[in-house]
Structure 1
Amino acid sequence: MIFVIDSLNKHEYPALLNDMFRLRKRVFADRLGWDVRVSNGMEKDKFDDLDPAHVISVDDSGEVVGCMRLLQTTGPHMLADIFGELLDGEAPLRSATVWEATRFCVDTERLTRGSERNSISYVTSEVMIGAFEFAMAAGITDAVAVIDPVMDRVLKRSGNAPYGYLGSPKPMGKVTALAALMDCSEARIQSIRDYAGIRHDVTLPQRVIA
Structure 2
Amino acid sequence: MAKIVVAQEQKDSFESSLFADVFQLRYEAFVNRLNWEVVADNGRERDCFDDLQPYHIAIKDDEGRVQGCWRALPTLGSYMLKDVFPVMLQGESVPRHRQVWEISRLVVRKGAAKPTHGCIGDISVDLVLSFRDFALKHGIRSYVTVTTLAGERLLKMLGVRLRRLGAGKVIQVGIEKTVALWIDVNDIPEIKKN
- TM value normalised by structure 1: 0.84
Question: Is the Cα contact below 8 Å between 1:152 and 1:161 reproduced in 2?
Answer: no
The amino acid across from 2:8 in the alignment is D
Query: How many Å apart are 1:176 and its aligned residue?
Result: 1.6
Aligned residue in 2 for 1:177: 178
Instruction: Report if the CA contact (8 A) 2:114-2:122 is conserved.
Output: no
Q: How does 1:1-210 map to 2 (within 5 A)?
A: 1-6=3-8, 9-109=11-111, 111-115=112-116, 121-162=121-162, 164-167=163-166, 168=168, 169-185=170-186, 188-190=188-190, 192=191, 194=192, 196-197=193-194
Q: Write the distance in 2 (CA, Å) between the matches of 1:161 and 1:91.
A: 21
The one-letter amino acid of 2:44's match is: M
| Mapped partners of 2:104, 2:82: distance in 1 | 13
Q: Tell me the secondary structure at the aligned position of residue 115 of structure 1.
A: strand
Letter in 1 for 2:80: M
Cα RMSD for the two superposed structures: 1.9
Contact 2:59–2:68 (8 Å) recurs in 1: yes
> 1:189/1:7 Cα in 2 relative to 1: closer, same or farther (>3 Å)?
farther
Q: Which amino acid in 2 is paired with 1:38?
A: A
Question: Is contact 2:36-2:175 (8 Å) kept?
Answer: no
The one of the two structures with greater contact order (alpha-carbon pairs below 8 A, sep at least 6) is: 1
| Cα deviation code 1:95-138 (max 9, x no counterpart) | 110000000000013x144229xx96111111121232111111
Deviation at 1:159, TM superposition (A): 2.0
* Structure 2 alignment gaps of length 5 or more: none
Contact 1:74 1:96 in 2 (8 A): yes
Q: TM-score, normalised by structure 2?
A: 0.90
Q: Which amino acid aligns with 2:69?
A: C
More strand by share: 2
- The offset of 1:25, in angstroms, is 0.2
Contact 2:56 2:71 in 1 (8 A): yes
1-structure distance, mates of 2:158, 2:55: 23
What is the CA–CA distance in structure 2 between the aligned matches of 1:120 and 1:44, rounded to whole Å? 27
Deviation at 1:188, TM superposition (A): 2.1
- 1:62-116 residue CA offsets vs partner (Å, 9 max, x unmatched): 111000000011111111111111112333111110000000000013x144229
Identity %: 33
Which deviates more, 19-28 or 173-182?
173-182
Contact 1:108 1:120 in 2 (8 A): no
Aligned residues: 189
| Gap change, CA 1:90 and 1:158, over 3 Å in 2 | closer
Q: Pick closer, same or farther for the CA change 1:174–1:8 going to 2, 3 Å.
A: closer
